[in-house]
Amino acid sequence: MKLKSKLFAAAIAATMLGGAAVQSQAQEMKFFRIGTGSAGGTYFPIGGLIANAISNPPGARPCDKGGSCGVPGLVAIAVSSNASVANVNSIQAGQLEAGLAGAQTVVEAFNGRGKFEGNAKDKLRVIANLYPEDMHLTLPKGASLASIGDLKGKRVGIAQAGSGTQVTVEQILKSYDIGRDDYEAAELNNNQSAQRLADGQLDAYFYAMGTPSSALVQLGSTKGFELYKFTEAEQTAINKMIPYYVPSLIPAGTYEAVDYDVPTVAVNGLLVTSADQPDDFIYEVTKALWNDNSRKLLDNGHAKGKVIRLETALKGVLTPLHPGAERFYKEQGMIK
């Protein structure tokens, strides 16, 4: 008998021996995969916090007795992925139930624009706006650039294929007449990019993410690094070219290695799901995301978790909400 068959048979036997109550619980269990990003970025830890907040596995202690306050029977799992583009593709294909993605990716995917020309992801629905993702242009310790145009001829990390960052970076570089033939592109996630920079194999790398990034915290404690300060003209030009990216600031001290303010641009990160998910279920997921217990988990779990607030849950949302989420926000008086 194959291993999978043995496991299946064992599961059936355990259910039968456990009695009707256990059998009922097993039947009610629902898995909910949330696509995130690489372990060194912000999507992965934030996705893990959200998964923890909305989960309430069968047999868990009730919320009012100090247990989970998530959706009864739900087991949510944060899945590492190639981030925004990969997540929306997987949600459309039914390979993920939800995911984190930048606003630009979500809008372009839903409307079939840009990278998604002729391939619209019409099943995408928003659960909530989460937090701003700051564009980091990271340089080796002591290095500097007069402008983004100085990257021509350099070894540059542009984030992994399937990420919203890569789409944005290629647009930015193209505006400086820097095409793929004009620099050595490295398609790497945040952890890989930081390691290559530390090893002297990259001259710079881009990554849009919430602060602080664990990969950069680690890099700062070893080799050190610099962050490029976008000029006001560059911020304006990027915003005009990519309206989803707005001027932002990474304050001095966000990273121990960076003791100066870093003007940059940022895009909102969203939690999205599929229109195929039942309305009542997503209503319960949304409700669980914003309960008091989840607030504590978000506040204590990550610096960016504190920025995830109910009052900004609809900020910058330019594509349809899932009807279940919409019902929750209507009950809160946030929409009519």
**Closest CA relative to residue 313, chosen from 287, 292, 276:** 287
- Residue whose tokens read 């868990």: 60
End-to-end CA distance of the chain: 58
Neighbours of 3 (CB within 10 A): 7
CA atoms within 13 A on the CB side of 315: 13
In whole angstroms, give the CA distance from residue 68 to residue 230.
43
Kindly report the pTM of this predicted structure. Answer: 0.82
Question: Can you give the pLDDT at residue 162?
Answer: 77
Angle, helices 164-175 vs 103-111, to 10°: value is 90
Walk me through the domains of the chain, giving residue ranges and CATH numbers.
29-132+269-331 (3.40.190.10), 134-267 (3.40.190.10)
In whole angstroms, give the CA distance from residue 272 to residue 34.
9
| Phi-psi domain of 35 (left: phi exceeds 0; alpha: psi -120 through 50; beta: other) | beta
Question: Can you give the pLDDT at residue 14?
Answer: 39
Angle, helices 43-54 vs 292-301, to 10°: value is 150
Per-residue pLDDT of the chain (336 residues), as tens digits, is 443 343 334 343 333 334 434 444 444 799 999 999 988 889 999 999 999 999 999 988 888 888 889 999 999 999 999 999 999 999 999 999 999 999 999 999 999 998 899 999 999 999 999 999 999 999 999 999 999 999 999 999 999 987 889 999 999 999 999 999 999 999 999 999 999 999 999 999 999 999 999 999 999 999 999 999 999 999 999 999 998 898 999 999 999 999 999 999 999 999 999 999 999 999 999 999 999 999 999 999 999 999 999 999 998 899 999 999 999 999 999 998
**Residues 71/56, Cβ–Cβ less than 8 Å:** yes
**Residues 97/91, Cβ–Cβ less than 8 Å:** yes
**Residues 307/264, Cβ–Cβ less than 8 Å:** no
Question: Can you give the pLDDT at residue 229?
Answer: 98
Question: Can you give the pLDDT at residue 15?
Answer: 39
Question: Can you give the pLDDT at residue 62?
Answer: 87
What element of type H or E holds 126? strand 124-140
**Closest CA relative to residue 292, chosen from 130, 58, 77, 53:** 53
In whole angstroms, give the CA distance from residue 184 to residue 252.
30
